[in-house]
Amino acid sequence: MEKLTYEEAVAEVEKILDDLENRRVKLENVEEKIERASDLLTYCRKLVKDYEAEYLERLRGKS
């Protein structure tokens, strides 16, 4: 996955969902859009998990 910020990835997921909800995606592209949204959500989860681990490590270092 290309290097995106968390905010950029979330914005893209929101755009995909809006396009799907408002039927602006051709039927033959729906699967591709859903896969992209799924990949982006996985990426966001990883960013959050990595940030959480870094934050907890910093807290341990201050103790």
Kindly report, residue by residue over 34-53, the tens digit of the pLDDT: 999 999 999 999 999 999 99
Is residue 30's pLDDT more than 80? Answer: yes
- Per-residue model confidence (pLDDT) at position 1: 74
Structure tokens, 10: 């979330």
Structure tokens, 43: 């990426």
- Per-residue model confidence (pLDDT) at position 58: 93
Question: Distance (Å, rounded) from C-alpha 30 to C-alpha 22?
Answer: 12
Neighbours of 40 (CB within 10 A): 20
* Residue with token string 């870094």: 54
- Per-residue model confidence (pLDDT) at position 42: 98
Ramachandran angles phi, psi of 21, nearest 5°: -65, -35
Q: Enter the pTM of the model.
A: 0.88
